[in-house]
């Protein structure tokens, strides 16, 4: 029989016995796990930000969002300076949900009502996980034959519903349909910085000027159907199929695009994923896992009414297989061996763009479409094939300690490879106290889009004397960036800490400290050779940005962006505590993160607004009596310090500290329930990215029925 374990939970932990499913990584040092009961207590109603809102209340995790639902969200785990789409692996029932092909990690695609547990693994990570700095592992519920329907509505013209229908038998099936739409940030104000050029006595002067604007149409619609099938194949193998589609439409402004005049100013995204899982049955004594997966992004059209924004279509696909097996060597030792193969392919075509150019009569917004260019401005189709193998040895030293050592080899098929060592130690000190430490190196192969970003072609365009009156421009030359091979990113570091469980696990506490050195590459502006034509001014599209508009008859040097080696040095700590009784669940956590970027020339800069605030703290309480449920959450985000960099993304920007409160109430009546949620009760106007405010005060009401 497979063992049933009591999970020790920090933060929103609920002390509950549950069956450990095959493939769950419950042995990783310093992880935190949240069960379905804990998740349900704090997501009783409806939250437009979905799962991201819940995760952002956990220790060491910070949400950085472009604002309203449907925008881009990053989930920074312990403040890693690179975004979560690239650096945080999300596993859904053991299979990867994001990768080199699909850098976009959409947490709102996972229906919260289907989640059995969430485990957050902090780096350094065991060899089984590969080149990521953290892992968010989500396990869906077993099919139990229960059905439910729920409808909701609220402010910002938010409404939608969820329906779950299932059958439990020799072949169990489940269908979940989740739909919602909202106006999001429509009518809210936002700030933005733009370069503005004026003419002084000594020539043109360019400066950054901040403007306050009002969002127009920011509507978002999302439909997520999910299908799940499970059956046993013989006595030892359980087979599960999980298929899901994400169909979204995100508006960015009123009316039509100023360039693609026949298209709405919106992003239309269709993302499909399919996973086949083979795991041991509950009666089996074996421990193994095999995942076959397919992710396919059919189309993403980005048409924004803003200069220096690409307009185009994307197609991305990923096919892969990963598996592992565990062999007992003795009562005190076991060996895990595994590997993965992954094939990703992508195609991107930017059909047109708008750029600000300098014509004879001053700055002008000049649309340039592919009809005027011999080739599309930005077109790539490429693929990346990679593989990995790993081994882990796990030792038990009596009842007092667990030791893990391992190594992993990541390779680009036909290219370079790299080894990643790992070690961990957990000591059970007695009295409910245990100590843990882990260290090592992880290696990440840069994603497909990053690779192509450095290989894409550039076209030099003459805007000349007639550009100011709208005469089409002329292509002078096309060239490609210098050839640069893919380079592995490395993170070396360690973490250590202590956790305790007392009063039959009613009280849990965990404190961790960490340091990571992430060796990667950061875009840096480089001045290219001046471009001239009969002494006239030239500009360029896309990655090449004007260095300043010269007087007519002078050379115009141009900038392009290239990858330069950098190291992000991250230091910090996080602490969490929770206490549970039959009726109450209390939690509190806090974290501090400091990130500095070191360049190859010796310069060091704070990461600035791309990083999380230095100090983040969360607290909450949930009350449960009979069929009455109530919860309150409060989050404090300290100031995001001003970046020390003198150029790049928004130099001199800092984000103010803020405190946000959420309240929820749910009342059951047998199989029925009613719920009310009020988010951002104090109507705080705050940003997690510069110029991209989060939603102000908004509420939702919902009603549901289980049968």
What is the DSSP track for 559-618? EEEEEEEEEEEEEEEEEEEEEE-SSEEEEEEEEEEEEEEEETTS-EEE-GGGSPPSEEEE
Query: pLDDT class for 586, splitting at 50, 70, 90?
Result: very high
Residue with the bigger pLDDT between 140 and 24: it is 140
Looking at the predicted structure, is the pLDDT value of residue 498 above 60? Answer: yes
For Cα atoms 105, 110, 111, give the angle at the middle one, nearest 5 degrees. 160
Query: pLDDT class for 165, splitting at 50, 70, 90?
Result: very high
Highest mean predicted confidence (pLDDT) among 27-31, 687-691, 697-701 = 697-701
CA–CA distance, 686 with 56 (Å, rounded to integer): 15
For residue 486, the model assigns a pLDDT of 53
Instruction: Extract the tokens encoding 164.
Output: 């779950």
Which of 109-118, 419-428, 616-625 is least confident? 109-118
Q: Return the sign of the alpha-carbon dihedral for residues 560, 561, 563, 567.
A: positive
Q: How large a percentage of the chain has pLDDT more than 70? A: 70
Beta bridge partners of 403: 395, 425
Looking at the predicted structure, is the pLDDT value of residue 516 above 60? Answer: yes
For residue 349, the model assigns a pLDDT of 64
For residue 84, the model assigns a pLDDT of 57
Query: pLDDT class for 312, splitting at 50, 70, 90?
Result: low
For residue 607, the model assigns a pLDDT of 64
Q: Which domain covers residue 460, as residue numbers?
A: 4-706
Residue with the bigger pLDDT between 454 and 637: it is 637
Residue with the bigger pLDDT between 236 and 542: it is 236
Mean pLDDT of 511-533: 64
Which of 91-95, 152-156, 318-322, 492-496 is least confident? 91-95
Query: pLDDT class for 505, splitting at 50, 70, 90?
Result: confident
For residue 177, the model assigns a pLDDT of 96
Predicted TM-score (pTM) of this structure: 0.82
Residue 287: partners with Cβ closer than 8 Å, 6 or more residues away: 22, 280, 325, 326
For residue 300, the model assigns a pLDDT of 65
Looking at the predicted structure, is the pLDDT value of residue 245 above 80? Answer: yes
The mean pLDDT value of the chain amounts to: 76
- What are the b/e assignments for 463-474, b being 16+ CB within 10 Å? bbeebbeeeebe
For residue 179, the model assigns a pLDDT of 95
For residue 490, the model assigns a pLDDT of 83
For residue 302, the model assigns a pLDDT of 59
DSSP classification of residue 58:
S
For residue 22, the model assigns a pLDDT of 41
Mean pLDDT of 32-48: 83
CA–CA distance, 311 with 262 (Å, rounded to integer): 13
CA–CA distance, 542 with 310 (Å, rounded to integer): 8
Query: pLDDT class for 470, splitting at 50, 70, 90?
Result: very low
Mean pLDDT of 49-68: 87
For 107, phi and psi rounded to 5 degrees?
-70, -20
Beta bridge partners of 161: 151, 179
Looking at the predicted structure, is the pLDDT value of residue 657 above 60? Answer: yes
Q: Residue 224's closest CA among 50, 38, 65? A: 50
Looking at the predicted structure, is the pLDDT value of residue 4 above 70? Answer: no
Query: pLDDT class for 377, splitting at 50, 70, 90?
Result: very low
Query: pLDDT class for 579, splitting at 50, 70, 90?
Result: very high
CATH number, residue 331: 2.40.170.20
Mean pLDDT of 34-42: 84
For residue 667, the model assigns a pLDDT of 95
Query: pLDDT class for 542, splitting at 50, 70, 90?
Result: very low
Residue with the bigger pLDDT between 386 and 483: it is 386
Which of 129-138, 382-391, 480-489 is least confident? 480-489
For residue 24, the model assigns a pLDDT of 55
CA–CA distance, 300 with 449 (Å, rounded to integer): 14
Looking at the predicted structure, is the pLDDT value of residue 384 above 50? Answer: yes
Mean pLDDT of 122-126: 86
Structural domains in the chain (count)? 1
For Cα atoms 38, 40, 42, give the angle at the middle one, nearest 5 degrees. 80
Q: Residue 316's closest CA among 301, 300, 340, 292? A: 300
User: Which pairing describes strands 17-19 and 4-6: parallel, antiparallel, or unpaired?
Assistant: antiparallel
Mean pLDDT of 512-530: 66
CA–CA distance, 26 with 35 (Å, rounded to integer): 13
Match 């091979």 to its residue by tokens.
Answer: 485
Looking at the predicted structure, is the pLDDT value of residue 226 above 90? Answer: yes
Residue with the bigger pLDDT between 158 and 601: it is 158
CA–CA distance, 531 with 142 (Å, rounded to integer): 63
Mean pLDDT of 131-154: 91
Query: pLDDT class for 614, splitting at 50, 70, 90?
Result: confident
Looking at the predicted structure, is the pLDDT value of residue 455 above 50? Answer: no
Q: Residue 109's closest CA among 94, 121, 95, 97? A: 97
Looking at the predicted structure, is the pLDDT value of residue 21 above 70? Answer: no
Query: pLDDT class for 225, splitting at 50, 70, 90?
Result: very high
């Amino acid at each position: 029989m497979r063992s049933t374990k009591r999970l020790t939970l920090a933060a929103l932990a609920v002390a509950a016995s549950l069956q450990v499913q095959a493939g769950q990584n419950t042995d990783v040092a310093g992880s935190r796990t949240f069960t379905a009961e804990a998740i349900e207590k704090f997501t009783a109603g409806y939250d437009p930000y979905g799962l991201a809102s819940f995760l952002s209340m956990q220790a060491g995790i910070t949400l950085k969002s472009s604002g309203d639902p449907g925008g881009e969200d990053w989930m920074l785990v312990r403040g890693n300076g690179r975004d979560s789409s690239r650096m945080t692996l999300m596993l859904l029932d053991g299979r990867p949900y994001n990768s080199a092909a699909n850098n976009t990690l959409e947490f709102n695609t996972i229906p919260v009502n289907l989640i059995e547990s969430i485990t957050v693994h902090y780096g350094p990570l065991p060899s089984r996980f590969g080149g990521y700095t953290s892992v968010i592992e989500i396990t869906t519920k077993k099919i139990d034959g229960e059905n439910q329907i729920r409808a909701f509505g609220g402010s910002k013209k938010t409404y939608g519903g969820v329906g779950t229908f299932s059958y439990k038998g020799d072949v169990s099936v489940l269908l979940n349909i989740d739909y919602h739409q909202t106006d999001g940030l429509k009518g809210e104000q936002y700030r933005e910085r733009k370069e503005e050029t004026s003419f002084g006595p000594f020539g043109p002067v360019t400066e950054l000027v901040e403007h306050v604007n009002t969002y127009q149409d920011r509507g978002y619609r999302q439909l997520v159907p999910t299908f799940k099938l499970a059956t046993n194949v013989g006595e030892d193998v359980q087979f599960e199929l999980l298929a899901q589609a994400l169909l979204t439409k995100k508006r960015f402004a009123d009316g039509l695009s100023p360039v693609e005049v026949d298209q709405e100013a919106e992003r239309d995204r269709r993302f499909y994923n399919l996973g086949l899982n083979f795991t041991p049955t509950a009666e089996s004594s074996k421990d193994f896992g095999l995942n076959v997966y397919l992710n396919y992004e059919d189309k993403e059209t980005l048409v924004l009414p803003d200069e220096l924004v690409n307009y185009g279509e994307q197609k991305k696909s990923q096919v892969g297989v990963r598996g592992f097996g565990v062999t007992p060597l003795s009562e005190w030792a076991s060996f895990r061996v595994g590997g993965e193969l992954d094939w990703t392919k992508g195609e991107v075509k930017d059909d047109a763009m708008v750029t600000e150019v300098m014509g004879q009569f001053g700055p002008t917004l000049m649309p340039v479409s592919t009809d005027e260019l011999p080739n599309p401005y930005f077109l790539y189709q490429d693929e990346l094939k990679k593989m990995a193998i790993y081994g882990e040895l796990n030792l038990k030293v009596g009842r007092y300690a667990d030791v893990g050592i391992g190594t992993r080899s990541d390779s680009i098929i036909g290219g370079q490879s790299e080894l990643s060592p790992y070690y961990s130690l957990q000591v059970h000190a007695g009295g409910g106290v245990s100590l843990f430490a882990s260290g090592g190196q992880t290696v990440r192969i840069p994603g497909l889009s990053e690779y192509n970003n450095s290989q894409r072609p550039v076209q030099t365009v003459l805007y000349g004397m007639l550009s100011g009156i709208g005469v089409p421009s002329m292509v002078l030359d096309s060239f490609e960036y210098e050839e640069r091979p893919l380079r592995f990113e490395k993170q070396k570091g360690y973490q250590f800490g202590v956790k305790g469980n007392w009063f039959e696990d009613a009280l849990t506490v965990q404190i961790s400290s960490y340091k990571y050195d992430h060796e990667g590459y950061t875009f840096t502006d480089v001045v290219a050779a001046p471009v001239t034509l009969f002494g006239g001014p030239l500009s360029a599209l896309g990655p090449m940005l004007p260095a300043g508009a010269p007087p007519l008859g002078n050379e115009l040097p141009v900038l392009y962006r290239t990858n330069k080696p950098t190291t992000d040095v991250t230091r910090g700590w996080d602490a969490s505590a929770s206490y549970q009784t039959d009726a109450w669940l209390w939690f509190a956590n806090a974290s501090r993160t400091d990130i500095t970027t070191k360049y190859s020339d010796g310069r060091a800069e704070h990461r600035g607004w791309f990083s999380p605030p230095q100090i983040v703290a969360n607290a909450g309480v949930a009350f449960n009596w009979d069929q009455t449920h109530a919860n309150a959450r409060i989050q404090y985000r300290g100031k995001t310090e001003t970046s020390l960099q003198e150029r790049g993304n928004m130099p001199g920007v800092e984000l103010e500290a803020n405190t946000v409160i959420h309240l929820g109430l749910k009342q059951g009546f047998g199989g029925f329930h009613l719920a009310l949620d009020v988010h951002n009760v104090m109507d705080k106007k705050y940003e997690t990215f510069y110029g991209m405010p989060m939603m102000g005060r908004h509420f939702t009401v919902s009603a549901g029925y289980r049968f």
